[in-house]
Amino acid sequence: MNLIAVAKSLKAFTQKNATLEAIYKEICSNKSIPFKNFLKPIDLIKVVFLTKKILNGEDPKEIMSKLDNNLFLFSTVEFEKNEQELDCEKCSGDGKVTCTSCNRDGMKECNMCGGSGEDEYGDDCDYCHGWGRVECTDCNGTHYSQKCSQCEGYGYYFTEDYVPYEIGYYVSYDETFKTTLEQKLLRNDTEEPILNSEKTFLLSMNFIGAKDGESENIKGIFANTTHLLEVNTEDVGENLIYKNGKISPTGFYNDLDKFK
Ligand SMILES: [Zn+2]
Ligand SMILES: [Zn+2]
Ligand SMILES: [Zn+2]
């Protein structure tokens, strides 16, 4: 398939100033763009870059050989703050739980008469006036106002052992940038890389909420800021699949996979 011709046909579907991400999203989500299912994921990525060139009024042929030879993938992982506000599981964030001392109507059996409503002489019980039941004192008759014991009524709690993280998967043909990334990896430099938005775009962002207890492992292995995880210069095409309306990288990032 002639990818430049495909990219030219996409001009009609994209805004003039569209970013690479916007072009990519449009191709993946617009149902009236028919050919995407016939394109290999790697070609779909090339088409995104080519379309951007065309929108810029530049010659798309210029980058064709770069796209064929220099495309690479890389990933970053970004940790959220480790002090996370989590909804209390016991009360679902209400801060209150149902009273266990009474029935749904907030009433419980009268202690004085044992629920009979009568005193020892067969008269109405002074305490419950013959009803046999009295308002529950634990919840003042509301049946729903016992302070949750797990969160002490706050409805949420903070945890220090819960470090959710996001893995970003990017694609690029920026050779200079690739060198920068590889040097960062060697130095274990965790500073977030600065992208050239004309040559690099975000394929997908996966948010992963680590379970309690796993966070310390994760933090032990990776820095607690943005961390360059991996640069993949192998055959990019083989590391990509197209599913659920987007291109997903596959076959690497093993270090974090086990924490999913
Ligand atoms: Zn009574
Ligand atoms: Zn009660
Ligand atoms: Zn609670």
* Phi (first) and psi of residue 131, to 5 degrees: -75, -30
3-state class of 61 per DSSP? helix
- Ligand 2 centre distance from Cα of residue 97 (Å): 10
Which residues are paired to 85 by β-bridges? Answer: 158
28: left (phi over 0), alpha (psi -120 to 50) or beta: alpha
- Ligand 3 centre distance from Cα of residue 58 (Å): 60
- Ligand 1 centre distance from Cα of residue 137 (Å): 14
The confidence band for 218, taking pLDDT boundaries of 50, 70 and 90, is low
Whether 245 is in a domain gets the answer yes
Whether 26 is in a domain gets the answer yes
- Residue 160 is given by DSSP the state S
Q: Are residues 2 and 76 in the same domain?
A: no
Q: Are residues 75 and 13 in the same domain?
A: no
The confidence band for 34, taking pLDDT boundaries of 50, 70 and 90, is confident
Q: Are residues 75 and 198 in the same domain?
A: yes
| Ligand closest in space to the Cα of 115 | 1
Whether 207 is in a domain gets the answer yes
Whether 98 is in a domain gets the answer no
Q: Are residues 13 and 31 in the same domain?
A: yes
pLDDT of residue 146: 80
The average pLDDT across 200-219 equals 71
- Ligand 2 centre distance from Cα of residue 111 (Å): 14
- Ligand 1 centre distance from Cα of residue 163 (Å): 55
For 247-256, the pLDDT digits (tens) are: 888 755 545 5
| Ligand closest in space to the Cα of 94 | 3
- Ligand 2 centre distance from Cα of residue 119 (Å): 24
pLDDT of residue 161: 63
Q: Which residues of 99-116 are buried (b: 16+ CB within 10 A; e: fewer)?
A: beebeeebbbbbeebeee
* Phi (first) and psi of residue 108, to 5 degrees: -135, 170
The average pLDDT across 194-220 equals 73
- Ligand 3 centre distance from Cα of residue 136 (Å): 21
Q: Are residues 189 and 253 in the same domain?
A: yes
- Ligand 3 centre distance from Cα of residue 147 (Å): 8
Q: What are the structure tokens assigned to 110, written together?
A: 């009268």
The average pLDDT across 55-80 equals 88
| Ligand closest in space to the Cα of 98 | 2
Domain range for 39 is 1-61
The confidence band for 57, taking pLDDT boundaries of 50, 70 and 90, is very high
Check: CB of residue 228 under 8 Å from CB of residue 184.
Answer: yes
Whether 212 is in a domain gets the answer yes
Q: Are residues 168 and 48 in the same domain?
A: no
The average pLDDT across 119-143 equals 90
3-state class of 16 per DSSP? coil
How many Cβ atoms are within 10 Å of 10's Cβ, its own excluded? 23
Rounded CA separation 10/54 (Å):
9
Ordered alpha helix ranges (H), the chain: 3-9, 20-29, 41-55, 61-70, 175-187, 215-221, 254-257
Q: Are residues 238 and 183 in the same domain?
A: yes
Q: Are residues 43 and 76 in the same domain?
A: no
The average pLDDT across 112-133 equals 92
Radius of gyration of the chain measured on its C-alpha atoms? 31
Q: Are residues 255 and 183 in the same domain?
A: yes
Rounded CA separation 27/33 (Å):
7
- Ligand 1 centre distance from Cα of residue 202 (Å): 71
Ordered alpha helix ranges (H), 77-192: 175-187
Check: CB of residue 143 under 8 Å from CB of residue 105.
Answer: yes
Q: Are residues 76 and 1 in the same domain?
A: no
Whether 66 is in a domain gets the answer no
| Ligand closest in space to the Cα of 145 | 2
- Ligand 3 centre distance from Cα of residue 24 (Å): 43
- Residue 223 is given by DSSP the state -
| Ligand closest in space to the Cα of 95 | 3
Q: Domain count of the chain? A: 2
Whether 236 is in a domain gets the answer yes
- Ligand 2 centre distance from Cα of residue 145 (Å): 8
- Ligand 3 centre distance from Cα of residue 31 (Å): 45
- Ligand 3 centre distance from Cα of residue 216 (Å): 25
Q: What are the structure tokens assigned to 219, written together?
A: 């933090």
- Ligand 3 centre distance from Cα of residue 235 (Å): 51
Q: Are residues 191 and 240 in the same domain?
A: yes
- Ligand 2 centre distance from Cα of residue 96 (Å): 12
Q: Are residues 75 and 182 in the same domain?
A: yes
